[in-house]
Amino acid sequence: MFWFYEAVGAYLSRVLDVKIDIIQSPNDPLKDPLLLQDRLDIAFICGLPFLRHHRVAPHQLEAIVAPVMQAQRYQNRPVYFSDIIVAADSSFASLDDVKGKTWCYNDPGSNSGYYLLLHRLLEAGKNKSFLGKAIQSGSHQRSMQLVNEGVVDYAAIDSTVLEQELLNLPTLRLRIIESIGACPMPPLVAAQHLGATVIESIRLALLNPDALLRNLMDKARIQAYVAVKSEDYGAISYVYDTVVKSELACLK
């Protein structure tokens, strides 16, 4: 989605008449020097690292908008799901069927690929004996490939990433056995050092895109941006805290 983030930056440059540089951070979000030094003005960030940083620096960033995806399953809401996938030709039909099987996760800091799955297991009364060998893949795309190739048996994938990857690579043969969620979509956040007036102008610009940005949103399968608040992400915080306090936390 970096091409789309660049498009949003270009749009904001046009309508706000300011120079905006979009960079892709090579760092873990919680270890990004620009973030830690409050040198970012706006950022596309996943909900969990945003919340974790917000706990230690509550007056630095605030969520201002989030995308609503086009697919019908999202019901015009800024949400996504964590889809548990298996190979299409496997015999697995439910979460109970993958007990003791090999699984992979994109990153131990991921809500969709890691914490939501472990939280689902806790809700179902499972313990660490349920889980077999775990492999860290490095990305959702790699997790999908590992499942498709039979290297692992299952993985939890952000539904929006899964949908796009299935379009990009129709040779993938995957099947969803369960969907977890819905969860709030990753927000676009703004630094409070910008001031309330500037932050509101950014929010209003994204709530009312011009024709060029609207066309690119359609290409990215985004229906619209809607206003959100930092408080809207509390459900993700609950999932994270529950898993961290459980016996499954040692799996990280």
Residue 155 and residue 125 share a domain? yes
Q: Does 93 reside within a domain? A: yes
Residue 199 and residue 133 share a domain? no
pLDDT attached to residue 181 = 86
Residue 218 and residue 191 share a domain? yes
Structural domain boundaries enclosing 167: 79-173
Q: Answer positive or negative: Cα dihedral of 83, 88, 94, 96.
A: negative
Residue 136 and residue 164 share a domain? yes
Mean pLDDT, contiguous 10-residue spans, the chain (252 residues): 93 94 88 92 94 93 97 96 96 95 94 95 91 93 96 97 92 95 95 96 97 95 96 91 84 52
CA–CA distance, 90 with 30 (Å, rounded to integer) = 37
CA–CA distance, 18 with 25 (Å, rounded to integer) = 21
Residue 169 and residue 93 share a domain? yes
Of 64, 81, 68, which is closest to residue 195 (Cα–Cα)?
Answer: 64
Q: Does 109 reside within a domain? A: yes
Among 173, 203, 221, identify where a domain stops: 173
Among 120, 138, 173, identify where a domain stops: 173
CA–CA distance, 126 with 99 (Å, rounded to integer) = 10
Q: Does 247 reside within a domain? A: no
Q: Does 74 reside within a domain? A: no
Strand order in the sheet with 103-105: 134-136, 103-105, 154-158, 79-87, 174-184
**Quick check: 67 and 185 in contact, CB under 8 A?**
yes
How many domains is the chain built from?
Answer: 2
pLDDT attached to residue 252 = 47
Neighbours of 194 (CB within 10 A): 15
pLDDT attached to residue 162 = 96
Q: Does 248 reside within a domain? A: no
pLDDT attached to residue 28 = 87
Please state the three-class secondary structure of the chain as a single string.
CHHHHHHHHHHHHHHHCCCCCCCCCCCCHHHCHHHHCCCCCEEECCHHHHHHHHHHCCCCEEEEEEEEECCHHHCCCCEEEEEEEEECCCCCCCHHHHCCCCEEECCCCCHHHHHHHHHHHHHCCCCHHHCCCEEECCCHHHHHHHHHCCCCCEEEEEHHHHHHHHHHCCCCCEEEEEEEEEEECCCEEEEHHHCHHHHHHHHHHHHCCCHHHHHHHHHCCEEEEEECCHHHHHHHHHHHHHHHCCHHHHHC
Global confidence as pTM: 0.90
pLDDT attached to residue 200 = 97
Residue 99 and residue 24 share a domain? no
- The CATH number covering residue 85 comes to 3.40.190.10
